Structure 1
């Protein structure tokens, strides 16, 4: 199994959330890319965010966003010494 473009869009959207606070959400505006708008809808349907256009992370969404950010950190190219 591989990451499909839809999953990548969802992961990219989760990376927009600030994990340092639970008091800050996001808003996916009508002028965002269609892929980002659809990703927000899918994440809401999966119970990861509170609104179809963003909102806040649910408990499951926060855990998923933490994993997404950790994975990105692991896959980044190391900085030269």
Structure 2
């Protein structure tokens, strides 16, 4: 399995969530890039978020966002070394 542009866009949205405050959601505005709008809809379709334009993370979404953000941290630390 490889990272497609669609998966990368979804990971980028998941990386925007503040995991320190689960009561803080996201709003992907209609003026955002078409890729971001489509990624937000796919995350909703996969039941990772509560709204098609972002909203809050579901419990599965919270797990996914945590893994996505951890991966970014690991890769960024490895890149800096």
> What is the TM-score when the length of structure 2 is the normalising length?
0.94
**Structure 1 stretches of 4+ moved >6 Å:** none
Deviation at 1:6, TM superposition (A): 0.1
Q: Which runs of 5+ in 1 are unaligned?
A: none
- Number of aligned residue pairs: give it: 79
Cα RMSD (Å): 0.8
Aligned counterparts, 1:1-81, within 5 A: 1-76=1-76, 77-78=79-80
Which protein shows a greater Rg?
1
More helix by share: 2
Q: Which runs of 5+ in 2 are unaligned?
A: none
> What is the TM-score when the length of structure 1 is the normalising length?
0.94
